[in-house]
Structure 1
Amino acid sequence: MKTTLESLMVQGTTSDAGKSVLVAGLCRVLKRKGISVAPFKPQNMALNSAVTEDGGEIGRAQAVQAQACGLKPTIHMNPVLLKPCSDTGAQVILQGKAITNMEAVGYHDYKLVAMNSVMDSYQRLSDSYDSVVIEGAGSPAEINLRENDIANMGFAEKADIPVIIVADIDRGGVFAHLVGTLALLSESEQNRVKGFVINRFRGDIALLQSGLDWLEERTKKPVLGVLPYLHGFDLEAEDAINDRQVENSDTKLNVVVPVLTRISNHTDFDALRLNPDINFRYVGKGERLTGADLIIIPGTKSVRSDLEYLRTQGWDDDINRHIRLGGKVIGICGGYQILGETINDSFGVEGAPGTSEGLGLLPITTDLTQQKTLSNVGGTLKLFGEEISISGYEIHVGVSEVNATQPITLETGFLDGAISSCNHVFGTYLHGLFDASEIVPLIGRWVGVEEIETVDHVNNNEKAIDRIADAIEDHMDLKKLWPSLF
């Protein structure tokens, strides 16, 4: 018999207030209590995405939250995903499938249609699980976005869901954030708010108590918890690039990744960034691709325009010089296409139709296609005379014709990737390649560095989820949210 536990929505005073992590932690807490729980985010805007078991595409944060629930991700956990392709437009992905590109003004009106998919997906999850923990987007108090809202209070009101609001005290102004956010909501929305969570607190809680008392008196809402700043905490980011590294003064391998304007799935590099033997560095606008043993060209939502951007930064010259001096280069997905000879967009998939000349470092030619490839894959990689098992996922438009050794054999029997004849350049469509524990030491040997530490990235994610769940259990009054359970 299905047990019903009231669903809950987590909204934030700002982006990056901690909504994604709090939802993951709450999901893990409920799972520990034997509750079948699923995550849900009505609308997500992110270039970090994941491939679901049912062959669709959702925000990467929801895949991590599904992991916290012990579930495989499905398209219904994030029915609307917006992937920006310009400053004013985005690809709209509805229940896992890309339907069109829209400018912001056009999408504002389309949200009335998208709400139908949102409610359909939410109902499916509600019917299948004891509870659903829902993540909002940005802030519910964005006045210009409140009309037709499907991401925050617009959804909460329609689905009749209680809400908690989280704010990041480490940024400063936490009381203004919480009081101001609540004040900008309608009366019915204010009544829906069950309390506040203050995130990332450092120091003695006694010094904060007078502020907490004032906040509760001013708003008539309880502070449900003050979560501590977790030093060294790292969980896959929803969208913002995380450049934090583990501390180690004796690194062995220097890895550099240029930040393209539409860089996608930069979570590919978390396993490298957090390896104590690797000095990992993102390079931004105006900086040089120097001091590297390995340069990795990341994925991008707009491959031809980011190829042009790469050239305007002079990074093509840096890459060529790097190879001449014996350095190695890897391209992932869009980066793989950039390393090739040509990228042809006959259908105008990413903008105006046309053909771009690639960097010419791999003998491949790519035709961008109207159909997106979405798949979770496994297989074997042969590199540097060694063969290991790998897994990953493909999210790309484009089919590449390869005239080179293809080092990856997929379980389906198809081949992937390419290695240059000089053995200095390697490309693949597979995201998540570096997550396998054996791959990073192998890449190190290919580059010429021995004995790189093996890091279990998947297990580290599990530990991070458990860590935030432990903090929630220790520092939040969960009985005020679910009195029948705690």
Structure 2
Amino acid sequence: MPARALMFQGTGSDVGKSLVVAGLARAFANRGLVVRPFKPQNMSNNAAVTEDGGEIGRAQALQARAARVATSVHMNPVLLKPQGEAGAQIVVQGKVFGAAKAAEYQGVKPNLMPYVLDSFARLRAEADLVLVEGAGSASEINLRANDIANMGFARAANVPVVLIGDIDRGGVIASLVGTGHVIDPADAAMIQGFLVNRFRGDPRLFDSGMREIAERTGWTPFGLLPFFPDARKLPAEDALGLSREIPGINGRGAIRIAVPILPHIANFDDLDPLEAEPDVEIVRVWPGDALPGDAHLVLLLGSKATIADLAAFRSAGFDVDLAAHIRRGGHVLGMCGGYQMLGSSIADPHGTEGPAGKVRGLGHLDVATELTQGKRLVATAGHTTDGVSFRGYEMHMGATAGPGRERPFATLADGSPEGAVSASGRVAGTYVHGFFSDDAQRAAWIERLNGKPSGLHYDDGVEAVLDALAAHMERHLDLDGLLKNAR
């Protein structure tokens, strides 16, 4: 018998849909149900490599972890990855499908609905419950005609909807009631109930607000969910998680790691394990600011448009700051796109990111990169040159070669060299993501920079937060009512 399903849509972007689904996935898994997360369409440059060899949005990978199941490309069958002048790369069931600008993509979407429904059917056949996450706002009626992410999917798959409003941003009564009024009546009929997220203060003060929403819409109130502060300890999917207002979780630390924030930054969850370390301060440096002169390490993260971000890096003057940092004896690590930028040149003969051509790199590693049309997606393991093991993944378009590769950053499990290190040993580049999640590898970096070992077990911390989030859901939401409305 196919699994029951329930979809969570929002009155707007960033109302907490991903976190709610993650918490419910762990809560229902704790009740003994086989749960699968599903998001028909996602837009994010923070992606994860799945165990079946594709890529999905990072939020769906976290939701799968919350459900205690392996990741699958079918959990996020359509992933859009913005990449500068080329518009957005379209990834379908884990593999690159093409690219399109925003207006062009509206004509592509009807061709993607069969893939979405196919993936949903596959998950439904192997679970007791599928928790579906919408995208953006349910009230984007200007995009409704070809929608595959919200009501278009709910209607096509006959999945009931719960609408989430965020009280923290204000106007939650109007946003919930207004959504029901502006959408098509047949779409509104799919909404079974609502919940209000991120409440702060005495919940009794909003009792009348919950009643007003229920009376004006006819929807079932499934709960008022208080703000969950430990959400910041979970991997963020959107670049909103790189807010200027939050320079780091732990404040001033013994180790300062400077991270230039560029327009097309990708896989920034590489920062999360470092940010959990009590002795580490992550300093996000935005264009207009200078790289701090006392940084121990400058970390250049991945990019979905490496050539455009390299131009932005130079325009911000970060290239001058980086050269000064290296002259002072500072360390630099480039990951994926950051590795490519550190080389002598980047060529794009196929116009993968924009107009075909070749640009000069930063010149701190004796390697050159040629962007390719094929993408490498693979889980990987090995050890760095100091003999410390790691596990991670590769997700990139491009091949890098040159004399600098004779001093590799790491050796992979199959014996092949990976990455490059400068002659001074202070500048390194790698295509491997996620190795800071490996406790041994992260501890080695911290001891190298600070002289003190780390005792943090990062994965244990993430699991503890997911368990606490599930308990939060059990306390404040009507989980039995949600299950009764799934079908």
Q: TM-score, normalised by structure 2?
A: 0.95
Q: Provide the rounded CA distance (Å) in 2 between the counterparts of 1:141 and 1:101.
A: 26
1:271–1:455 contact (8 Å) kept in structure 2? no
1:248–1:277 contact (8 Å) kept in structure 2? no
> Which stretch of structure 1 is more off in the superposition, 450-459 or 257-266?
450-459
2:79–2:91 contact (8 Å) kept in structure 1? yes
Q: Which residue, 302, 309, 314 being the options, matches 1:306?
A: 309
Change (3 A) 1:351 1:88: closer
Shift of 1:69: 1.3
Q: Which residue, 101, 112, 115 being the options, matches 2:113?
A: 115
Q: Provide the rounded CA distance (Å) in 1 between the counterparts of 2:151 and 2:85.
A: 25
For 1:236-315, list aligned pairs within 5 A.
Answer: 236-243=235-242, 244=246, 245-247=248-250, 251-290=253-292, 291-315=294-318
> Which stretch of structure 1 is more off in the superposition, 230-239 or 59-68?
230-239
Residues 393-430 of structure 1: CA distance to partner in whole angstroms, max 9, x if unpaired?
Answer: 11101111142311311112221111111111011101
Q: Which ranges in structure 2 are unaligned for 5 or more consecutive residues? A: none
Q: Which ranges in structure 1 are unaligned for 5 or more consecutive residues? A: none
Residue number in structure 2 paired with 1:368: 371
2:310 is matched by which residue type in structure 1? L
More helix by share: 2
Q: Provide the rounded CA distance (Å) in 2 between the counterparts of 1:134 and 1:20.
A: 10
Residue number in structure 2 paired with 1:337: 340
1:88–1:104 contact (8 Å) kept in structure 2? no
Shift of 1:455: 2.4
For 1:42-441, list aligned pairs within 5 A.
Answer: 42-86=40-84, 89-233=87-231, 234-243=233-242, 244=246, 245-247=248-250, 251-290=253-292, 291-382=294-385, 386-404=386-404, 405-441=407-443
2:347–2:371 contact (8 Å) kept in structure 1? yes
2:241 is matched by which residue type in structure 1? N
Question: SS where residue 387 of structure 2 aligns?
Answer: strand
Shift of 1:456: 2.2
Question: SS where residue 216 of structure 1 aligns?
Answer: helix
> Which stretch of structure 1 is more off in the superposition, 88-97 or 392-401?
88-97
- What's the C-alpha RMSD, in Å, of the aligned pairs? 1.6
2:39–2:77 contact (8 Å) kept in structure 1? yes
1:184 is matched by which residue type in structure 2? V
Residue number in structure 2 paired with 1:458: 459
2:168 is matched by which residue type in structure 1? D
1:436 is matched by which residue type in structure 2? D
Change (3 A) 1:412 1:93: same
Shift of 1:222: 2.1
Question: SS where residue 128 of structure 1 aligns?
Answer: coil
1:387 is matched by which residue type in structure 2? G
1:170–1:201 contact (8 Å) kept in structure 2? yes
Q: Provide the rounded CA distance (Å) in 2 between the counterparts of 1:484 and 1:232.
A: 29
Q: Provide the rounded CA distance (Å) in 1 between the counterparts of 2:462 and 2:240.
A: 17
1:163–1:192 contact (8 Å) kept in structure 2? yes
> Which stretch of structure 1 is more off in the superposition, 437-446 or 35-44?
437-446
Question: SS where residue 372 of structure 2 aligns?
Answer: strand
Residues 189-227 of structure 1: CA distance to partner in whole angstroms, max 9, x if unpaired?
Answer: 212111111111111111111211222111121220111
Q: Provide the rounded CA distance (Å) in 1 between the counterparts of 2:393 and 2:177.
A: 42
Q: Provide the rounded CA distance (Å) in 2 between the counterparts of 1:402 and 1:132.
A: 48
Aligned length: 478
Question: SS where residue 195 of structure 2 aligns?
Answer: strand
Q: TM-score, normalised by structure 1?
A: 0.95
Residues 346-401 of structure 1: CA distance to partner in whole angstroms, max 9, x if unpaired?
Answer: 1111111111111110111111111110001111112xxx3211011111011111
Q: Provide the rounded CA distance (Å) in 1 between the counterparts of 2:94 and 2:418.
A: 24
2:390–2:441 contact (8 Å) kept in structure 1? yes
2:42 is matched by which residue type in structure 1? N
Change (3 A) 1:432 1:131: same
1:47–1:84 contact (8 Å) kept in structure 2? yes
Shift of 1:305: 1.2
Q: Provide the rounded CA distance (Å) in 2 between the counterparts of 1:284 and 1:354.
A: 27
1:164 is matched by which residue type in structure 2? V
1:37–1:130 contact (8 Å) kept in structure 2? yes
